[in-house]
């Protein structure tokens, strides 16, 4: 069977009313898919759908709200591609200056929300011939990069953005575990993607220093949704490498 982009399949992108999520939605639409634009806010979501045009459908979805997730999953009965993009940042503090409430808030969206959405939409994904799940991660969540020189950031930054970065570390682990557990159900592919620092509303540094979302998002739309994409050499099982970077949304 052809890839969903060749047959008019269906995708869901969470947090798709702005930034990277909206650009991913735009390019999936350009590939011929119907795209559910996941958004917490009805007004902002509808504005994004209006901008994206034909093929975009609003799906009100708060990944931190159990009832919202359940209601959204009831509406989507068939799904080929799930992009877990919704995410929030912290204030850049090290763990010694991070309170537990901040950790809970960041993990609620960046980790627990991904689990809630993925599990809720698994029945719809299992109806696809070649289901794909892509989790938007960050190079700052890499334990290897956080403990040694890397091409993206200074690892000697005293553990800044501890809540955000550790949430992406947890997400990377979950990506592997999902890939392993879903392998028994056939052609599932589960990958993590780190687009690098993009100019989004995630935080002030991203808005000031990041490249445009469109600049990097050609790669996930070209490769990570491909039915032939496998983990690249040197990457962990269930993940695919793209240029990792700093906090993204």
Q: How many CB atoms lie within 10 A of CB 57?
A: 15
> If residue 122 lies in a helix (H) or strand (E), which one and from where to where?
helix 113-125
Angstrom distance (rounded) from CA 160 to CA 132: 32
Angstrom distance (rounded) from CA 129 to CA 3: 9
Can 164 be counted among the known catalytic residues?
Answer: yes
Question: Is the backbone of residue 98 left (phi > 0), alpha (psi -120 to 50) or beta?
Answer: beta
Residue 132, beta-bridge partner list: 81, 189
For residue 127, with 0-12 CB atoms within 10 Å meaning exposed, 13-18 middle and 19 or more buried, which class applies? exposed
Helix (H, G, I), strand (E, B) or coil at 178: helix
Residue among 36, 164, 178, 225 flagged as catalytic: 164
Can 178 be counted among the known catalytic residues?
Answer: no
DSSP state of 159: T
**What backbone torsions phi and psi does residue 23 show, to the nearest 5 degrees?**
-70, -40
Residue among 36, 168, 189, 225 flagged as catalytic: 168
Catalytic positions are 164, 168
């Amino acid at each position: 069977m052809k890839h969903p982009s060749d047959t008019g399949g269906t995708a869901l992108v969470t947090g798709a009313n702005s930034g990277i999520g909206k650009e991913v939605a735009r390019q999936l639409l350009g590939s011929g898919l119907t795209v559910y634009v996941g958004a917490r806010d009805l007004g902002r979501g509808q504005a994004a759908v209006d901008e994206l045009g034909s093929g975009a459908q609003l799906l009100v979805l708060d990944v931190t709200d159990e009832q919202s997730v359940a209601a959204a999953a009831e509406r989507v009965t068939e799904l080929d591609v799930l992009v877990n993009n919704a995410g929030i940042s912290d204030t850049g503090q090290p763990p010694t200056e991070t309170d537990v409430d901040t950790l809970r808030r960041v993990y609620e969206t960046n980790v627990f929300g991904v689990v809630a959405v993925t599990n809720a939409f698994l029945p719809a994904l299992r109806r696809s011939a070649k289901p794909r799940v892509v989790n938007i991660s960050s190079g700052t969540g890499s334990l290897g990069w956080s403990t040694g020189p890397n091409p993206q950031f200074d690892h000697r930054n005293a553990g800044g953005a501890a809540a955000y970065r550790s949430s992406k570390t947890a997400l990377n682990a979950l990506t592997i575990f999902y890939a392993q557990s879903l392998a028994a159900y056939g052609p599932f592919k589960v990958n993590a993607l780190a687009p690098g620092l993009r100019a989004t509303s995630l935080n002030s540094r991203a808005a000031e220093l990041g490249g445009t979302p469109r600049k990097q998002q050609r790669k996930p739309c070209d490769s990570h949704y491909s039915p032939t994409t496998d983990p690249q050499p040197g990457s962990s099982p269930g993940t695919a490498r793209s240029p990792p970077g700093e906090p993204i949304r």
